[in-house]
Amino acid sequence: MIPLTLDEVRTIVGGELVLPAGSSAADVVTGSVETDSRLVTAGSVFFALPGEVTDGRLFVPSAVENGAALVVAEAPVEAGVPVILVADGVVALADLAREVVARIRDARDGADRLRVVGITGSNGKTSTKNMLRAILSDLGPTVAPEGSFNNHVGAPISMLRSDFDTRYLVCEMGAAGPGEIKRLVGIAKPDTGVVLKVGMAHADGFGGIEGTRAAKAEMVTDLPASATAILNRDDFRVAGMADDTAARVVTFGLTEGAEYRATDIEVTATGTSFTLHAPGLTREVSLRILGEHHVMNALAALSVTGEWGLDVDRAATVLEGVTRAERWRMEVLDGGPGVTVINDAYNASPDSVAAALKTLAQITGPGQRSVAVLGEMAELGEFARDEHDRIGRLVVRLNIHRLVVVGDAARHVHMAAGLEGSWDGETMLVPDSDAAYDVLKADLRDGDVVLVKSSKSAGLRFLGDRLAGVTA
């Protein structure tokens, strides 16, 4: 974070400063901002936020022991370091992030100014963010979230990693309900807003696909005319957001007419290649990342690069060196003699499961078996049964050879596949990961390609690691 005095922080968050003996309101804090006491280091600001299960104030002693220089809390707490009392810790965190980003902007202008991009979509946010981080880090100091820090707490924390040296700030913006992306956009005020896809992820919180569309459109509705909205031309719900924004619109996709377009896509077990068509540039791109759906993420990242006036050819070369989208996202692992494990179980929506299954079918060669290990797709609410049923039928249509469904919540995948009489494959429903592991270890053979896919809550990412002997 940029250097701020205690009094400046108090003013920004609208709180009451409580000083212990020996401290002054003029004292400066420069450390990281954290909500997890385990991540606190010397000089950090610790936001002791209340949670559904516990209260951050319980972890103040641990935060102070780890070096916290300031605690922000909603109620009095004994800390031995300065404390700022606020009415709402989440609002205070947002206010601090908004001010810090604004001050960095104000400190520089011209070619050296801070560039901010916001990325949202039902799928692909984290992968696109990671691609952009790789591209931009090659060009200058870049801040981007670790993991999926994209909600009302994680996104501001990520923004607060910025300082006066930061050239590029990449903000991943997720939402579980209406208004959340709008709030994050109001904090970061992106120069560029990217919308990847509108799908059924978190459909329960949005009330269906049109509610999801409205929430994702919040990325571009408040952008000024000086900003750029980068939209997926292939998704009609996203493409239609051009009518919702005053910003200049640029599109990407496979569709003719997109400014950043891919043709001649080829997916193999070693990666994904395509021909990139960008303004003033046509070239072959060979990604080491697995899956046709990552072509769209790459196009989005390259669109930002090009629209910021950066070298797209150099950016494409950087992308060719990226070895994986993210831990537990289409991560290719060695499952033992002749067995390939694709661990893609960090999250799952109907669209991402369909994309992963398509990739599995594409890369399984003659004489090999495709094995899909599927768990629950969470947060679908009233749509859960139909969407799990649709995935089961897709397994059959893609002629996946073996299906192992894990957990009762995903049983409709198993049931739907089993009802398809034309299918020569096999399906099995098992109660948990341990049972799935036992079945797979007994059945897997040389040449098998195994996809492990579920929402994070189902825990199958650990099953994927276990099948490949990964311990960390």
User: If DSSP states are collapsed to H, E and C, what string results for 416-440?
Assistant: HHHCCCCCCCEEEEECCHHHHHHHH
Residue 8's contacts (CB-CB under 8 Å, 6 or more residues apart) are none
Q: Which residues are annotated as a binding site?
A: 121-127
Count CB neighbours of 365 within 10 A.
Answer: 11
- State both tokens at 157: 């924390």
Cβ neighbourhood burial of 367 (10 Å; 0-12, 13-18, 19+): exposed
Residue type, 86: V
Output the six-digit token pair for 11: 């003013």
Nearest to 33 by CA among 48, 45, 49, 15: 45
4-87: CATH, from 3.40.1390.10, 1.10.1060.10, 3.30.590.20, 3.40.50.1100: 3.40.1390.10
Q: How far is Cα 171 from Cα 190, in angstroms, rounded to an integer? A: 8
Per-residue pLDDT of the chain (472 residues; tens, 9 = 90+): 999 999 999 999 999 999 999 999 999 999 999 999 999 999 999 999 998 777 899 999 999 999 999 999 999 999 999 999 999 999 999 999 999 999 999 998 777 899 999 999 988 999 999 999 999 999 999 999 887 678 899 999 999 999 999 999 999 998 878 899 999 999 999 999 999 999 876 666 777 889 999 999 999 999 999 999 999 999 999 999 999 999 999 999 999 999 999 999 999 988 999 999 999 999 999 999 998 999 999 999 999 999 999 999 999 999 999 987 778 888 989 988 889 999 999 888 999 999 999 999 999 999 999 999 999 999 898 899 999 999 999 999 999 999 999 999 999 999 999 988 777 789 999 999 999 999 999 999 999 999 999 999 999 999 999 999 887 6
Tokens at 306, concatenated: 């090009």
Compute the CA torsion angle 357, 360, 363, 369 (nearest 10 deg): -130
Report how far apart, in Å, the C-alpha atoms of 70 and of each of 14, 31, 154 are.
Answer: 15, 10, 19
In whole angstroms, what is the distance from residue 213 CA to residue 145 CA? Answer: 24
Cα gap 137→161, rounded to integer Å? 14
Contact between 392 and 416 (Cβ < 8 Å): yes
Distance CA 338, CA 320 (A): 26
What is the residue extent of each domain of the chain?
4-87, 92-320, 331-468
Taking phi over 0 as left and psi of -120 to 50 as alpha, with beta for the rest, 308 belongs to alpha
Six-digit token string for 222:
């408040």
Distance CA 411, CA 376 (A): 8
- Domain 331-468 in CATH 3.40.50.720: no
Angstrom distances, CA of residue 270 to CA of 63, 191, 293, 324, 329: 44, 35, 15, 11, 15
Can you give the pLDDT at residue 203?
66
pLDDT of residue 323: 84
User: Model pTM?
Assistant: 0.88
DSSP category for residue 328: T
* Residue 418, both tokens: 């089993």
**Which CATH code is given to the segment(s) 92-320?**
3.40.1190.10
From residue 377, alpha-carbon distances to 36, 196, 255, 428, 453 in Å are 28, 20, 29, 17, 9
CB 194 within 8 A of CB 120: yes
Strand, helix or coil for residue 296: helix
How far is the C-alpha of 146 from the C-alpha of 345, rounded, in Å? 18
Model pLDDT, residue 201: 64
Binding site residues for ATP, as ranges?
121-127
